[in-house]
Structure formats: C-alpha cells, structure tokens
C-alpha cells in the first residue's frame, strides 16, 4: 500500500460536524472547483437513480469515487448495501474525515482514485458489482481519464462504471477510452439537472492521431 493511501479509522464526528456537510462541500468547491465538479451535493433524485443502477448481488461490493459529503453513499446504505461492502475513495482529507464519521462500518479510503488497485484490497478485485465515479471526468486531460478508466477496470474487470454528469451529451469521448456509453437515467430535479451514464469496456482504446 502506497504512503498516500490512508484507510480512515477515525472516530465518528460529532453531530455538529455532520450538520456542517453542505458548508464543507461549498468550502471545498471554493478551494478547488475543478476537483468538485458541482457547487452542491447530489440531490435525493439523483441519488435514487444512481442506486437504482447499482448492483451488489451475490456478495458483491460497490466502490464510489469522489464521494464528497456522502449523500450517494448514504443512499446506497439505505437501500440495503451492507456497510462493509461499500468502499468510498475520497482524495480530500477533510472530506474523507467527514465520511469516516458519517458512514460507520464502511471502508473509507483517503487516496488518489488513479491508484485504485492499490487502494482496494486484492481480495475484492473482481468482486466489485458497481463502480460509481463522481469525479468530474470532463475536466480531466485525456491521460488522467485513461489512467482512471484503467484503474477501475483493474478492480472490476468487464464491469465498467456509472458516472453522473451535468452535460446534455456524453461528458467523455468514450470510444477514445475504449468504452461504449449510454445514458441510463436523467433527472431535472437535481441542481443542475444531471444524467447518469453507464460506460463499459469494448476493447482497446481507439488510436489517437499524433
């Protein structure tokens, strides 16, 4: 496990810290809007659509990347996902601390999702039912996108991933990344309105002209 990996074992945060979640999200957005992607956490409507398209049958686990304040994570747990089968990866230490306090029993990991094979215990590789990517892929350069796609494929081979976006069309050039994508849900009740996309691997990435 790399030195940047920290599986949080902190005690739960006090209620006052939990109530401060929206303020924490906004402060992180102010500090680094490219890292957050949206100015507000995902709405209940978006959470429901992500959960409806997630799978953890037959003892599988769910991995959520870029969990923010944990609204989708909490929706997954409310829908019946056992906490010990939820792996939450958040790169911002303050938000990882918050998640560790509000998701008791879940595996909260502070680290870079691009190193996902090192962050997720090897015993779970190949046993991931769904990867949910909340990282704003549209804002990343191609090399960073490819690194992240490869990392997700390494722990959940053939499964692809769910990704929510605020764009009308696909937020990524799926073919260039060796993926096929389709929109599986849309909600106008999110601020801003959001789509849920499912991307699955199709083979080698398309050649990119030099």
At 155, the pLDDT band (50, 70, 90 cuts) reads very high
What is the per-residue pLDDT for 171? 93
**Could you tell me if residue 210 is inside a domain?**
no
Calpha distance 45→62 (Å, rounded): 19
Which is more confident, 94 or 174? Answer: 174
pTM: 0.80
What is the per-residue pLDDT for 206? 56
**Could you tell me if residue 207 is inside a domain?**
no
- Return the percentage of the chain with pLDDT > 90, whole number: 63
Phi then psi for residue 65, to 5 deg, are -105, 130
- β-pair partners for 199: 161, 181
What is the per-residue pLDDT for 204? 56
Domains in the chain, number: 1
**Could you tell me if residue 183 is inside a domain?**
yes
Q: Which residues touch 206 (CB under 8 Å, ≥6 apart)? A: 175, 176, 178
**Could you tell me if residue 13 is inside a domain?**
yes
Calpha distance 88→99 (Å, rounded): 8
**Could you tell me if residue 208 is inside a domain?**
no
Print the domain residue range for 131.
6-201
What is the per-residue pLDDT for 86? 98
Phi then psi for residue 50, to 5 deg, are -65, -45
Lowest mean pLDDT among 64-68, 119-123, 180-184: 64-68
Q: What is the pLDDT of residues 12-47, one digit of tens each?
A: 333 333 333 444 444 443 344 444 444 445 688 999
- H/E run at residue 89: strand 86-90
What is the per-residue pLDDT for 64? 98
Calpha distance 18→202 (Å, rounded): 41
**Is the predicted pLDDT of residue 174 greater than 90, yes or no?**
yes
**Could you tell me if residue 209 is inside a domain?**
no
Phi then psi for residue 128, to 5 deg, are -90, 120
**What CATH number has the domain bearing residue 79?**
3.40.50.150
**Could you tell me if residue 62 is inside a domain?**
yes
**Could you tell me if residue 1 is inside a domain?**
no
Q: What is the mean pLDDT of the chain?
A: 82
């Amino acid at each position: 496990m790399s030195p940047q990996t920290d599986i949080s074992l902190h005690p739960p945060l006090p209620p006052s810290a939990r109530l401060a979640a929206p303020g924490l999200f906004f402060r992180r957005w102010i500090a680094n809007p490219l890292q957050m992607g949206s100015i507000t956490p995902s709405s209940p409507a978006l959470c429901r659509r992500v959960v409806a398209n997630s799978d953890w049958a037959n003892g599988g686990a769910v991995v959520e990347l870029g969990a923010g304040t944990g609204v989708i994570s909490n929706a997954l747990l409310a829908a019946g996902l056992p906490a010990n089968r939820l792996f939450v990866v958040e790169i911002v230490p303050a938000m990882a601390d918050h998640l560790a306090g509000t998701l008791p029993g879940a595996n909260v990991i502070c680290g870079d999702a691009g190193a996902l094979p090192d962050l997720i215990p090897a015993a779970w590789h190949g046993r991931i039912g769904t990867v949910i990517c909340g990282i704003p892929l549209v804002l990343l350069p191609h090399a960073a996108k490819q690194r992240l796609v490869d990392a997700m494929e390494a722990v959940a081979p053939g499964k692809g991933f769910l990704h929510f976006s605020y764009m009308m069309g696909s937020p990524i050039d799926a073919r260039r990344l060796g993926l096929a994508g389709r929109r599986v849900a849309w909600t106008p009740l999110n601020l801003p309105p959001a789509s849920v996309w499912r991307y699955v691997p199709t083979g080698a990435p398309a050649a990119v002209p030099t």
